Structure 1
Amino acid sequence: MLRLMGRTVTAVLSSFTFQMIYLLAGYYYTATEEYDIKWTMPHCVLTLKLVGMSFDYYDGGKEPSQLNPEQKKAALSSVPSLLEVCGFSYFYGGFLVGPQFTLRSYQRLVAGELTDCPGKPANSVVPAMKRFGVGFLCLLVYAIFSPYYPDSYFLTAEYEAQPFWYRCVFILLWAKIVLYKYVSCWVIAEGVCILSGLGYNGVVDGKHQWDACANMKVWLYETTPLFSGTISSFNINTNSWVARNVFKRLKFLGNKPLSHVTSLFFLTIWHGLHSGYFLCFSMEFFIITVERQAQALVRDSPLLTRLANSPLYPFIYVVQQFIHWLFMGYPLVPFCLFTYDKWLKVYSSIYFCGHVFFLVVYLSMPYLRKALVPKKERRDKKQE
């Protein structure tokens, strides 16, 4: 495609269309109602790589002034060889679960440019083993506790017979444990990329950085009380790929929310065709929208700002974390149970509390602003 169509929009659209149709056809013919470990799992990673490569080749034909810093870094000056494409596609550190990286980064690795010792192999063993250690610890937590929090428990009569509070707390603990499955895979894979040198990211403040392939910010993930904080710390490279190749390229729409919705829709079908994926990502959009409004309210209200900075904050933080992880688990239920009949049964058993909670907060926000934000602040905000 790159050789025949050149640096054209046609080449980009053709690549995008072919890769996505091939992936979705794979999902359609192979997917079951369970968590599938099949060829479609590594192929979804490959799909992003090849679509991204077509974008990068297209950017390579533009004037540097037309590109943002990310595009300049990834742009390809010439058509890559078949061997380069194969090496990039099946690089052992990222072909199975990611992380995403550009062909230009892979070319720099092969050329020996990604090293802290010019002309010599990178001193990457220690930083790689640190990531492996973190990944192994997360894997250990998952292996020990996941048998106590199986997905199948949601569909049992025993779960339905439990008190409402128990069902909610179970979702909270289940979500925290089940996500370690992804955290451990990504952090260990990142260690492999660091060991090869692909994770080298230059020098900052005199220190060599090895986070070019970081797919997790583990400390942020464990400590943030915000939904947006968890999202920004989780599956970083995939989110960056979508931001670079979908969200930012929709700038011509002139509508940020529409670009956001389109990006989430792309992420949804990239994960699969189950209804649970659609519900999960639509709920994510709604939760983030409400959280941003709540943050703006705290920022604009002198009373809430003082409260957030008061000695009571440790208590507020604990409450935030409880709400945060309860409603992080809430959209994760359909993501893991996949089909309509399963996730609807669970949501019915907890009375759709997540939908109700965020809808009430969303609808009450104008009244809260009126009550808690001074008129002058509201007037200035409206003018902005």
Structure 2
Amino acid sequence: MWFVRYRDFVEGRLFDYQKTPSSTFAGVKRLLLGTTLSVLYASLNNYYPIEFLATKGFADEMYIRKLWLVFISGKVVLWRYIAVWLIAEGSCIVTGISYNGETKEGEADWSGLTNIKLFDFETCITLQGVVDSFNINTNSWMALYVYKRLKWLGSKELSLALTLVFISLWHGIWPGYYFNFSLEFIDLTAERTFHHRAKKLLGGELSDTPAVVRVPLSLIAYCLKNLILMYPTTLFMLLSWTQCYAFMKAVYFYGHIVPLAWIALHQLLSWLERRRKRQKLE
């Protein structure tokens, strides 16, 4: 579908040049947003370098301080990628190739090549929300050309696992890549099962609960999401086995232990529930 967009653009069929309003303002907004994040990254990276998380100095910190450094260092280093995407998107908007029809209000929609939904990414409280709002075009390409072509396997989990193996190989052979994408599979699996049980416990979605319940639980979920997310993000950035192991050891492998322990607990609870049902039938 990306080639079709490009072909329609160069042949002048993507939109009506006489009727569609100028895209300059929309493009400049993305440029300014990307530039702002570039400045923030350049300013804060010296104070929170991701490389510090693989040092003895980090290992000697108090654990709560370690978690803070994992969170803020991961946030800062991701701004580097987001800034580049936003600036690149701005140039695509200015040229017009990102035209995506009109909004419900009848205004021109320039989101056709959006790679990051920044507000959604920064405010979501689930890892699935991160997947849906981050590196959108790569995720769409993987879903279309890899994941969906593995349907013949008959297992969504196996299709997802092989897709993540493919994207790991795409990035390279550094251990950090394989840690990152294997943890993505583990974390998303853990989150799906946790969401299923939480929904049963709350009697519906979190968004449908009273504010006195929804607000504190959302804050807790936001913090947990970021701590889980920044663990594989750090491994993705550190790359080498030596640095990855030093980091994981310093934080006691929490990014592996927590989701795997939950998956094991979920399987145990599911087994007990099935056993209880069989006993009732007998």
**TM-score clears 0.5:** yes
CA distance in 2, matches of 1:219, 1:332: 19
Q: RCO greater where, 1 or 2, for CA within 8 Å and sep 6 or more?
A: 2
Cα 1:156–1:366, aligned 2, differ >3 Å: closer, same or farther?
closer
**Amino acid corresponding to residue 286 of structure 1 in structure 2:** I
Q: Does 1:130 align with 2:29?
A: yes
User: Quick one: which of 209, 218, 221 aligns to 1:320?
Assistant: 221
The ranges of structure 1 where at least 4 consecutive aligned residues each deviate by more than 3 angstroms after the TM superposition are 117-122, 302-308, 366-371
Partner of 2:3: 103
**Amino acid corresponding to residue 254 of structure 2 in structure 1:** C
**Amino acid corresponding to residue 359 of structure 1 in structure 2:** L
Per-residue CA distance 1:224-257 (angstroms, 9 max, x = gap): 0111111211110011011111111112222211
Per-residue CA distance 1:174-212 (angstroms, 9 max, x = gap): 111110001100011001001111110012322221000
CA distance in 2, matches of 1:224, 1:336: 22
Cα 1:282–1:229, aligned 2, differ >3 Å: closer, same or farther?
same
Q: Is the CA contact (8 Å cut-off) linking 1:138 and 1:180 kept in structure 2?
A: yes
> How many pairs align?
274
Partner of 1:152: 51
Give the superposition deviation at 1:286. 0.2
Instruction: Report % sequence identity.
Output: 30
Worse overlay, 121-130 or 353-362: 121-130
Q: Does 1:337 align with 2:256?
A: no
Give the superposition deviation at 1:302. 4.4
Cα 1:308–1:146, aligned 2, differ >3 Å: closer, same or farther?
farther
Q: Does 1:284 align with 2:198?
A: no
Give the superposition deviation at 1:306. 7.5
Give the superposition deviation at 1:368. 5.5
Where do residues 111-260 of structure 1 align in structure 2 (5 Å cutoff)? Answer: 111-115=11-15, 117-119=16-18, 123-205=22-104, 206-260=106-160
Q: Is the CA contact (8 Å cut-off) linking 1:114 and 1:122 kept in structure 2?
A: no
Give the superposition deviation at 1:119. 4.5
Give the superposition deviation at 1:304. 7.4
**Amino acid corresponding to residue 176 of structure 1 in structure 2:** K
Give the superposition deviation at 1:370. 8.6
1:347 counterpart SS class: helix
User: Quick one: which of 152, 165, 171 aligns to 1:271?
Assistant: 171
- TM-score for the superposition, normalised by structure 1: 0.67
**Amino acid corresponding to residue 167 of structure 1 in structure 2:** K
CA distance in 2, matches of 1:285, 1:366: 17
- TM-score for the superposition, normalised by structure 2: 0.90
User: Quick one: which of 265, 271, 276 aligns to 1:364?
Assistant: 265
Cα 1:119–1:334, aligned 2, differ >3 Å: closer, same or farther?
same
1:123 counterpart SS class: coil
Per-residue CA distance 1:249-303 (angstroms, 9 max, x = gap): 1122222111111111111011111011011100110000000111111222345
CA distance in 2, matches of 1:302, 1:352: 30
Q: Which runs of 5+ in 1 are unaligned?
A: 1-100, 380-384
CA distance in 1, matches of 2:252, 2:202: 35
Give the superposition deviation at 1:363. 1.7
CA distance in 2, matches of 1:155, 1:296: 35
Per-residue CA distance 1:13-44 (angstroms, 9 max, x = gap): xxxxxxxxxxxxxxxxxxxxxxxxxxxxxxxx
CA distance in 1, matches of 2:101, 2:54: 49
